[in-house]
A and B are shown apart, each in its own frame.
Chain A
Amino acid sequence: MKYKNFLIRLCDLILVLGLLAGYQAVIYSRDKEATIAELKSQVNQLQGEKEDILEAAKNSGKLGTDGASAGQAGTYKDGTYTGSSQGFGGEIKVKVTVSGKKISAIDIIEASGEDEAYLSMAKDIVKTILDKQTTEVDTISGATYSSTGIKNAVGQALEGAAK
């Protein structure tokens, strides 16, 4: 048959894609179930807390309002700071904004030596740093050089903020 080789390869490819899609579907529903379970337990917990509070309010006659915000105060001084560090192909410079004693924004102002694909992946580390409010986070596997560069640059900037 004239296109035998083509057809064999086509079937192989479709098979592989199908397997990947199946895998993704399974993982997706698994993750969804996990989220649902987590949300359910949260709802239960909140329900319990709510009942406790209502109980307490009934006992004391008024709703407690002593909830002055007890957010964990960060240890940084407000302002913008810059830091730089070595990435894959050159210097990475970042600008870190601290407001309300928290790291509120991280901008990469210079990373011309980085490969686009790696950089855009490494940028995920920015989100993690903002979430965790620390540079003690894992680097992005697959973009180790670039993400380490960003991490170290932010660390350097924060040294200025800690003073």
Chain B
Amino acid sequence: MKKKKKISVQTIIEVMIRAVFFIIYPALFSTAFTGIKLIVEQITQRASLQWNSFVQTLVVLLAFTIVFGRFFCGFACAFGTWGDFVYFISSMVCKKRKKKPLKCFSKEGKILRYLKYVVLLVVLLLCIKGYSSAVAVHSPFSAFSRFHQLKMADSLIGTGLFLLVTAGMALEPRFFCRFLCPMGAVFSLMPVLPFSVIKRNRENCIPNCKACNLVCPANLEIPSDKEGDNATSGECFSCGKCIGKCPKQNTHNGFWGKLWLPMLVVKAVILFVIFRILY
């Protein structure tokens, strides 16, 4: 009983953080990605690199990710929140029909996760070839932000892609983030400081327990304390689901130990304040 209550506190806090960022900063991911596109474009034109608000957003988010892990992806990104929301609805429907939540790509995911690097390269290549405004107009990001403003999107391709992606989101947790997001591709290459990587005290585990791996929306093998981090640690969204799941509370956030929940609030406040000051 007590356990249950604790989980719900966590859920309430998580939903609140997400709601705030979803409403106030719905475009951060595409703003940051535009920063990357601009840098690439400027290099193609042999122009000097400009510091502007896009690049600034990019640098802030990357630095934040290095220090605290992908908190942004876990809680602040509007597209990530949208994906989790769609998946939540789809699992509710499954539950009503007495079925397990869908996980259509859990095996393929191990390969599909590299698709996002391909997406990143293709998009950047299009920018180099001078199609960047076409990319911006037809991207599902733009369609999403039009919908976010309760407007019809003005590009059919963008809308189509957005609906396809949304359908995918219902079939597999974090479908877009894990397989397609070019910004996620960049985030997953960041050197997250070791003390912010989620690990588990494997020696203390119930033998053969995989509860944390199973609950992980990124379908990761959570590294043991001895490993420190592993090749896929960059895929971790710092969502904390594994931390809430472990019956022995073996999963932890490095240096911050068991202080997951207070740290979550602290991170949210820091990121929020940074953007308040900047804009």
Contacts and interface: CB of A to CB of B under 8 A. Distances in A.
Interface in A106-159: 113, 115-118, 120-121, 141-142, 144
B263 interface: no
Contacts of A144: 133, 136-137
B54 A9 contact: no
A115 B49 contact: no
Contacts of A24: 48-49
Instruction: Name the prevailing secondary structure of the A interface residues.
Output: helix
Interface stretch (B9-17, B84-92, B100-108, B190-198): B190-198
A114 B265 CA distance: 29
Interface string B225-241: 01111110110000000
Interface in A1-53: 2-3, 5-7, 9-10, 12-13, 20, 23-24, 27-28, 31
Nearest to A27: B48
A113 B150 CA distance: 12
B37 A142 contact: yes
Interface in B121-142: 132-133, 136-137
Interface residues of A, number: 26
A4 to B, nearest CB: 8
Contact of A23 (B49, B137, B145, B231): B49
A3 B52 contact: no
Given A12-B189, A24-B49, A3 B229 contact: yes
A119 B27 CA distance: 13
A121 B34 CA distance: 12
Contacts, number: 77
Contacts of B34: 117, 142
A27 B52 contact: no
A5 to B, nearest CB: 5
A27 B47 contact: yes
Given A6-B192, A10-B191, A24-B48, A142 B27 contact: no
B8 interface: no
Contact of B228 (A6, A12, A31, A141): A6
B41 interface: yes
Interface string A85-105: 000010000000000000000
B149 A6 contact: no
Nearest to A10: B191
B89 to A, nearest CB: 26
Contact of A115 (B31, B137, B197): B31
B81 interface: no
Contacts of A20: 39, 49
A29 to B, nearest CB: 10
Given A116-B53, A142-B37, A23 B228 contact: no
Given A2-B227, A27-B48, A117-B34, 11 more contacts: A5-B229, A5-B230, A6-B197, A9-B234, A12-B191, A13-B189, A13-B191, A23-B43, A113-B149, A141-B133, A142-B54
